[in-house]
């Protein structure tokens, strides 16, 4: 008997909820115990699934970590921001969008960013996941800078490199964590600084 559309949607929804439960459990346990000291069975127990379910969906613990990068993109609202960028024509607003994206990632998913940063030095799979996150970040920045160029506004030839540096974790942590800035202050500063540094 073929699947009915309602049954397929229900199955997809149930699968999405299972994946979210696994990633939420992994996020909490990795933050609490560290990546290396969190076995798959603990994630499975916390998520209320069988370990095999995790292996089926993610392949390995490193796959779960990669799933957290996907979760970070979603929780920070990056797909919505990229869709918004596609509709914008004002270079200042486009660069402001980069500032907002950086602020939202740090505010909503700073624990994942910290987990990747601290773990990359000791675990090759975390370093690989961090590198994938950095690649996606640069690609998003390139897309926005290209959109700014397409408006006909002058752009520094090294605009992508400049934006990547300004949006780095080190600058955020220096201002927000060490100096006590709010995320709103950080975003407003970043917007002004991107505009001054990137637009000719």
Tokens 């993610």 belong to residue: 58
Residue 171 confidence (pLDDT) above 90 = yes
Compute the distance between CA of residue 48 and CA of residue 46 in angstroms, rounded to an integer.
Answer: 6
113 token code pair: 């960013």
Residue 119 confidence (pLDDT) above 80 = no
Lowest mean pLDDT among 31-40, 114-123, 148-157, 179-188: 114-123
Q: Which pLDDT tens digit goes with each residue over 86-95? A: 889 999 999 9
Q: What is the pTM of this model?
A: 0.81
Lowest mean pLDDT among 27-31, 45-49, 186-190: 27-31
Compute the distance between CA of residue 154 and CA of residue 141 in angstroms, rounded to an integer.
Answer: 17
Output the furthest CA–CA distance in the chain (Å, rounded): 63
Residue 1 confidence (pLDDT) above 60 = no
pLDDT of residue 8: 54
10 token code pair: 């229900």
**Residues whose CB is less than 8 angstroms from the CB of residue 49 and which lie 6 or more positions away in sequence, other chains included:** 18, 21, 22
Kindly report the average pLDDT of the chain as a whole number: 90
Residue 10 confidence (pLDDT) above 90 = no
């Amino acid at each position: 008997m073929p699947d009915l559309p309602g049954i397929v949607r229900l199955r997809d929804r149930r699968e999405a909820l299972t994946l979210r439960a696994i990633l939420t459990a992994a996020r909490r346990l990795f933050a609490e115990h560290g990546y290396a000291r969190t076995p798959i069975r603990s994630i499975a127990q916390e998520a209320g699934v069988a370990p095999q379910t995790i292996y089926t969906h993610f392949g390995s613990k490193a796959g779960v970590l990669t799933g957290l990068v996907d979760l970070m993109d979603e929780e920070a609202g990056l797909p919505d921001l990229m869709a918004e960028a596609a509709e914008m024509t004002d270079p200042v607003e486009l660069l402001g969008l980069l500032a907002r994206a950086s602020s939202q990632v740090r505010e909503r998913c700073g624990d994942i960013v910290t987990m990747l940063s601290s773990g990359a030095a000791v675990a090759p799979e975390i370093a690989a996941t961090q590198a994938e996150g950095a690649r996606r970040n640069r690609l998003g920045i390139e897309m926005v800078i290209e959109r700014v160029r397409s408006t006909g506004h002058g752009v520094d030839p090294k605009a992508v490199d400049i934006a990547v540096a300004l949006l780095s974790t080190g600058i955020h942590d220096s201002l927000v964590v060490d100096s006590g800035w709010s995320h709103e202050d950080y975003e407003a500063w970043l917007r002004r600084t991107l505009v001054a540094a990137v637009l000719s």
